[in-house]
A and B are shown apart, each in its own frame.
Chain A
């Protein structure tokens, strides 16, 4: 700082180095400006990716995608259990040999079907699609059977329904060992 102002004024016509580019690259592999721009771009890149990452929250307050659905004994053969319909949108069904979790979304336009105990079928209130207890469509406009969720037994013998994975009949996925549990 204790520059003599005169001196600095005299020194002024500095070597006319361009701001960036050719002049420097000629000097060889290493150049400050190269390092500068690479690390600057790197920093900006990391910052941008971080900002993107920012938009994927680590914790959610939605109902969990996986839930415990009690023990197999709690389900009565030949009955459709409605207890998780409201909280998780799932029909739990037990037939003679298996238990499966039907996604309570009509394959027509996404309404929630109802289980009609008297008529022994799922009926969609919107356009009248009907499904058997297995979820196979048999009447109304629904183009394909209801979907099933992944269902497994936890270590403690409890049923765990995992809504992140879906099994479709028309793709032959209902035979997958995780599309039902044997009972």
Chain B
């Protein structure tokens, strides 16, 4: 049945139509796919940048054109014109020369070819000869002859070639002599217009002109064709030294940020909007001369985010503020990127990226916020409860509580523990009670009993003893004078003496407010006289006070009372509640029967002690304070050494709705440490217990920066900042400087002298105007000692640090006795010498004896006839006239104290070494050669200075400095 076979099951025209529709779909789909693949978000961005660059370049071009020295250009053009006319005038001679040159060209060519050909023959023959000679062949001798032959020819050709070349040069010279140096002029003209040309070229590249070039611009960047010389393309740096840790394997970072941030490493886009803005501080970042060149360091190692991304969201940008977020939501439909382990750091925390590479330093250069944060962490003592890498081995942040009865009483301690800021608003002691998760009436009742227990425990577990009664009574006004003048205010602050909030260094020691309500007078007296007697590890130095002075200071401090409304006293005991609390504590550790038995066997006092001990354990008081029975207890907080890398989902956000990031969590935690308990049902023991620290929002941000900087990832050796021996010495010294707050009084390493504000204030009280007081305060503050290593001799400094003696009689501020060990002393010495890059520890003194004539000249110069040095400077027992506040250091000490080279520099220009010093400048640095007296040593200023130096070195005896 053939007919049946002809049968079609489906209508072919219908199928054709379906085919057509499907194919159209396929075509559109494919085109769409190509477009989708091609059109990435960075393309329009790069186009925008081209337009921007064109705008800038046009501007620069206009300026460059204006900047061209038109006269010069005109001159050159005229000269060129002249060359032109001359070559027309002297056509005939020129033609002759040209003819000559043509002939010469041929000659050069022939001689050169001859030489080269012969040279290759020579090489071949030499090789053949060497082979034959090596084989001791009889034919070697003949070959050698041939070699000499060829060599002779070679020399000839060389000569001929040289002659031809000489002739060539000669012809050129003649031509120039005839018409002028056209090539040279051209070059000059090019040089003059170099900037214009360069900018014109650049402009042509970013903004092509003409239809063809403009069309080509589109074609080269068209989909599917953009593999041929596109100018829109992904920009990347492959950073072999910057590893990205992708869990157990590391790969080089491939930073593509500059695909959009095209202006980041180019000057000139400072005022343009992101993503084109020039990166700030080019001298530190990105520029190739900076320590962080972009092709070595890249971007994401600091900023984080996805290195390979070329899309705004994909790169995991993170807004720095709610305003920025709102703006991004509008412009980029921003939302947190899912599945990104390392989103970008908001720029306010960017300094937390410094630490991984800058390990082992006290402060990171230019990282102000991080440095501030680090100082704060040390001050508030985060490391007491949280293990933190880099903060090991530090002293506990708070005072020891092992001799508490010597110092104060429970009536004070109870309300203090309950609410420290109520007693002293500026204290570092954090607050544990009355916070968001323990303020309900039940909580308050419970915590009252807890504090009672702690107070009982602390006052029970103290060393027996105390201080004797005061030997007399002091005078408070005299005491206040002492406190404000001897230097206490370098480390301590007293609210009523402050005009503005004290700096961090002046909060190094406890704020003294209320001390009169807190400490017993006997304790204050004993403490200010010799702090180490009470607490051997204290950082409070000995001010070498006399008994009288100590009594006065004690009397003054006794007048600093607690704020009004604050009352000493202890909450009522509640035996029933206390029993419950004690039982609760026991139940967690033993069976119910044992609990009952134990309870029955304990007295009320024992229970109270037990509760106190449990609570000290729970709240971790021993993290900051030395407490008997807790000497070796490990800290209670989470380790923070890798907090900056902690998985965000391991942080419990509870029911608090904040952005789920590390920084937001930590910030919130510092703001309200108990906030994540909100809405949770917890037993007292389960509740969060981190206390509330007294930090301003800026301080909090700084602390968060430090915590974020503690990351797990280790950078490669090649990219870390390695300390050489000098820097190691510097850092060791800085550590000590930091620990003893030297910069509270001294200007050192570019920072410090915080005490100056108090001295200025004092001067103002004495009747000076504000500006004058400020400038005079420099002279009446402890000295600048950044250059101490260059100034003084190491052996003298060693002795001085051990046992300071007054150098500057006009200062009422005292250099205290810190009681440094030999090791610490040496560390400081090395630090000072490293800081001023002078030799450590010894140097050869100038050869003595000096010529008598020189000494005589020196003496003459220091006399009243000339510089009159001793009108201010003391000289051993010989004191200058007038009030000691006008005196200057003892020159008899110079010999043992000062480095000779420094004396010269000092006399030459004291203001350079010590801006603001009282020492007059006798030599004008501006016109040094003529500024000295003319009648001494022939008017040679250098010799005069040297003579004075030598004279000073003869003063005093060898050991007069000690």
Contact = CB atoms under 8 A, between A and B. Distances in A.
Direct contact of A and B (CB under 8 A): yes
A14 B15 CA distance: 12
Nearest to B265: A156
Contacts of B20: 32-33, 35-36, 39
A177 interface: yes
Given A14-B8, A139-B119, A155-B267, A39 B23 contact: yes
Contacts of B98: none
A5 interface: no
Contacts of A61: 238, 254
A70 B287 CA distance: 11
A158 B254 CA distance: 23
B238 A42 contact: no
A13 B27 contact: no
Main secondary structure of the interface of B (DSSP, over half): helix
Interface string B638-677: 0000000000000000000000000000000000000000
B1 interface: no
Counting chain A CB atoms within 10 Å of each CB, the highest count among B24, B27, B224, B267 belongs to B27
A127 to B, nearest CB: 10
B796 to A, nearest CB: 43
Contact of A24 (B16, B198, B266): B16
B306 to A, nearest CB: 14
B577 interface: no
A53 to B, nearest CB: 5
B63 to A, nearest CB: 14
A29 interface: no
Interface stretch (A43-51, A78-86, A106-114): A43-51
Interface in A129-182: 138-141, 153, 155-156, 158, 177, 182
Given A24-B16, A53-B227, A35 B6 contact: no
B231 to A, nearest CB: 13
Given A24-B16, A32-B20, A14 B267 contact: no
B886 to A, nearest CB: 52
A7 interface: no
B596 interface: no
A13 B6 contact: yes
A155 B263 CA distance: 12
Interface residues of B, number: 46
A46 B223 CA distance: 11
A58 interface: yes
Interface in B326-380: none
A32 B13 contact: yes
Nearest to A128: B123
Contacts of A68: 288, 295
Nearest to A178: B201
B26 A40 contact: yes
Interface stretch (A15-23, A88-96, A116-124): A15-23
B105 interface: no
Contact of A56 (B37, B191, B227, B236): B227
Contacts of B190: 177
B31 interface: yes
A72 to B, nearest CB: 13
Contacts of B3: 13
B8 A43 contact: no
Counting chain B CB atoms within 10 Å of each CB, the highest count among A47, A59, A70 belongs to A59
B105 to A, nearest CB: 13
Given A12-B9, A32-B17, A35-B23, A58 B234 contact: yes
Contact of A46 (B17, B34, B234): B34
B233 interface: yes
A68 B293 CA distance: 11
Contacts of B120: 141
Contacts of B37: 50
A16 B227 contact: no
Contact of B23 (A15, A40, A47): A40
B847 interface: no
Given A32-B19, A36-B16, A139-B123, A13 B7 contact: yes
Contact of A50 (B11, B23, B34, B234): B34
Contacts of A43: 23, 26-27, 29-30
Contacts of B27: 39-40, 42-43, 46
B12 interface: yes
Interface string B192-209: 000000100000000000
A33 B266 contact: no
Nearest to A137: B116
A54 B799 CA distance: 77
A59 B236 contact: yes
Contacts of B289: 71
A119 B288 CA distance: 34
B288 A158 contact: yes
Given A68-B288, A70-B288, A59 B234 contact: yes
Contacts of A24: 16
Contact of A14 (B10, B123, B256): B10
Contact of A33 (B6, B16, B29, B287): B16
B721 to A, nearest CB: 21
B181 to A, nearest CB: 15
A39 B288 contact: no
A31 to B, nearest CB: 8
Counting chain A CB atoms within 10 Å of each CB, the highest count among B30, B233, B236 belongs to B30
Nearest to A153: B198
Contacts of A139: 119, 123
Given A39-B23, A61-B254, A68-B295, A17 B236 contact: no
Contacts of B224: 46, 49-50, 53
A140 B17 CA distance: 74
A24 B841 CA distance: 105
Contacts of B9: 12, 14
Contacts of B233: 58
Contacts of A177: 190
A108 to B, nearest CB: 12
Contact of A17 (B12, B19, B254, B267): B12
Interface string B175-197: 00000000000010011000000
A47 B227 CA distance: 16
A126 to B, nearest CB: 15
Contacts of A58: 227, 233-234
B368 to A, nearest CB: 27
A12 B7 contact: yes
Contact of B30 (A46, A56, A59): A46
Given A16-B8, A47-B30, A32 B236 contact: no
Contacts of A47: 30
A14 B287 contact: no
Contacts of A33: 16, 19-20
28 contacts: A12-B7, A12-B8, A12-B9, A13-B7, A14-B8, A14-B9, A17-B8, A17-B11, A17-B12, A33-B20, A36-B19, A36-B20, A39-B26, A40-B19, A42-B27, A46-B30, A46-B31, A46-B224, A50-B34, A50-B224, A53-B224, A58-B227, A59-B254, A59-B256, A139-B119, A140-B123, A158-B288, A182-B191
The 5 lowest CB-CB distance pairs between A and B, nearest first, are A56-B227, A36-B20, A40-B23, A39-B23, A17-B12
Interface of A: 12-19, 24, 31-33, 35-37, 39-40, 42-43, 46-47, 49-50, 53, 56, 58-59, 61, 68, 70-71, 138-141, 153, 155-156, 158, 177, 182
Given A39-B27, A50-B224, 18 more contacts: A12-B7, A12-B9, A13-B7, A14-B8, A14-B9, A18-B12, A32-B19, A33-B20, A36-B22, A36-B23, A39-B24, A40-B19, A46-B224, A138-B119, A139-B119, A140-B123, A156-B266, A158-B288
